[in-house]
């Protein structure tokens, strides 16, 4: 396998290029907007075809290059479905696989720094790309952007420290010139998460860090909810919030409604579940009376729908339903919203579910 580790000195961000040397299919992890031309030049020089551009999470310290790479070379953009972004091409969850040539990356959800953090693990468990969940002798902060120290502790111990000790750890950043570690090293020497630290000890460490406000956060976050290619402060685009319900737009521009509002108005709205069929009968179940239309078929089916009927889109955690809501808005539907938090939040709030088969 071809592998390159690239570095952006301004944000201390690592970008990773992986490719099958036979098929020339490649993936790029955590690309930075200022380094797009560098990355594309390397891809051209090596004769590669960029299949996927992936982010480990919605970054707060630099603007992603996902959207720009998609525009320039037609690759598919990949984010966690829990990231809250409605404009990616592929939304991944625990256990999903991203394949390039003979190789694959396994998705492990590792929230705690943000809700949408994932770690990409090479299929043979020899390499793990941990983003900000686990850094070399450190970890991502947990004091903003849905951060939670207890969640991060469990994510690292259950999803990363469970990998073989020789597994190489490639983080999203390093500020001291270090390039790689191993699972075994971090279990022993990481001063926050290793050396037998308990969850309570880790929470106390994170509580007392007193870190500075990220200098690029106010620019990076709004940009990254649009994959780094457009945002309201640049385009001047301001979407009106519909008046038919207490709809709020997230940073990615997705119109959202809380599950409790949906539960109280089930007889007044059309609920469209955009997950795959097997998900509707799995542990999370589905809302009784939903119409099942997988995300890939929403545009095709929507041409037959009444554009005056209020529509709520639903998925596992909000990523796919957010994309569906934006697609419907682009088609002229005015009363449309994604259910915030998806079926994960619906279950957490203990609203009733069904696991009976659903037809379209």
* 41-79 residue pLDDT tens: 999 999 999 999 999 999 999 999 999 999 999 999 999
3-state SS, residue 346: helix
In which residue ranges of the chain is pLDDT below 50? 231-238, 241
Task: Using the 3D structure, point to which of 157, 190, 207 is the last residue of a domain.
Answer: 207
Residues 181 and 252 in one domain: no
Tell me, yes or no, whether 232 lies in a domain: no
Report the predicted TM-score, pTM, of the whole model to 2 decimal places: 0.80
Per-residue model confidence (pLDDT) at position 233: 38
Residues 258 and 201 in one domain: no
Residues 6 and 138 in one domain: yes
Tell me, yes or no, whether 217 lies in a domain: no
Residues β-bridged to residue 257: 339
CA 32 centroid distance within chain = 16
Contact 127, 167 (CB under 8 A): yes
Contact 278, 342 (CB under 8 A): no
Residues 46 and 194 in one domain: yes
The position carrying tokens 């449309």 is: 336
Q: What is the DSSP letter of 159?
A: I
CB-facing half-sphere around the CA of 58: CA atoms within 13 A:
32
Residues 125 and 270 in one domain: no
Tell me, yes or no, whether 360 lies in a domain: no
**Domain carrying residue 342:** 239-348
| Count of domains observed in the chain | 2
Residues 253 and 134 in one domain: no
3-state SS, residue 147: coil
Per-residue model confidence (pLDDT) at position 240: 53
Sorted by sequence, the CB contacts under 8 Å of residue 214 that are 6+ apart come out as 60, 61, 220
User: Which structure tokens are listed for 29?
Assistant: 């992890």
Per-residue model confidence (pLDDT) at position 234: 36
Contact 52, 98 (CB under 8 A): yes
CATH of the domain at 112: 3.60.15.10
């Amino acid at each position: 396998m071809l592998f390159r580790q690239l570095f952006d000195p301004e944000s201390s961000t690592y970008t990773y290029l992986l490719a099958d040397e036979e098929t020339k299919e490649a993936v790029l992890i955590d690309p930075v907007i200022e380094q797009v031309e560098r990355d594309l030049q390397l891809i051209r020089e090596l004769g590669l075809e960029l299949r996927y551009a992936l982010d480990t999470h919605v970054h707060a310290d630099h603007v992603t290059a996902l959207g720009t790479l998609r525009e320039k070379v037609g690759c598919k953009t990949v984010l966690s479905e829990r990231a809250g972004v409605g404009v990616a091409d592929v939304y991944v969850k625990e256990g999903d696989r991203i394949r390039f040539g003979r190789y694959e990356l396994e998705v492990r959800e590792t929230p705690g720094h943000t809700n949408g953090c994932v770690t990409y693990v090479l299929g043979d468990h020899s390499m793990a790309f941990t983003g900000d969940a686990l850094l070399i002798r450190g970890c991502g902060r947990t004091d903003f952007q849905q951060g939670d120290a207890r969640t991060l502790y469990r994510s690292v111990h259950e999803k990363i420290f469970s990998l073989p000790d020789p597994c190489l750890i490639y983080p999203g950043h390093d500020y001291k010139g270090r390039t790689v570690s191993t699972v075994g090293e971090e279990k022993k020497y990481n001063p926050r998460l290793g050396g037998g630290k308990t969850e309570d000890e880790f929470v106390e460490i994170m509580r007392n860090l007193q870190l500075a406000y990220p200098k690029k956060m106010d620019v990076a976050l709004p940009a990254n909810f649009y994959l780094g290619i457009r945002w309201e402060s640049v385009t001047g685009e301001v979407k009106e919030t519909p008046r038919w319900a207490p709809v709020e737009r997230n940073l990615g521009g997705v119109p959202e409604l809380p599950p409790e509002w949906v539960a109280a108005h089930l007889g007044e709205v059309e609920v469209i579940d955009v997950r795959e069929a097997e998900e509707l009968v799995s542990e999370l179940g589905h809302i009784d009376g939903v119409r099942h239309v997988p995300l890939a078929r929403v545009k095709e089916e929507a041409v037959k729908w009444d554009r005056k009927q209020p529509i709520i889109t639903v998925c596992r955690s909000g990523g796919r339903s957010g994309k569906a809501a934006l697609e419907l808005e682009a088609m002229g539907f005015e009363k449309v919203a994604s259910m915030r938090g998806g079926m994960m939040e619906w279950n957490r709030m203990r609203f009733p579910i069904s696991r009976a088969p659903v037809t379209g």
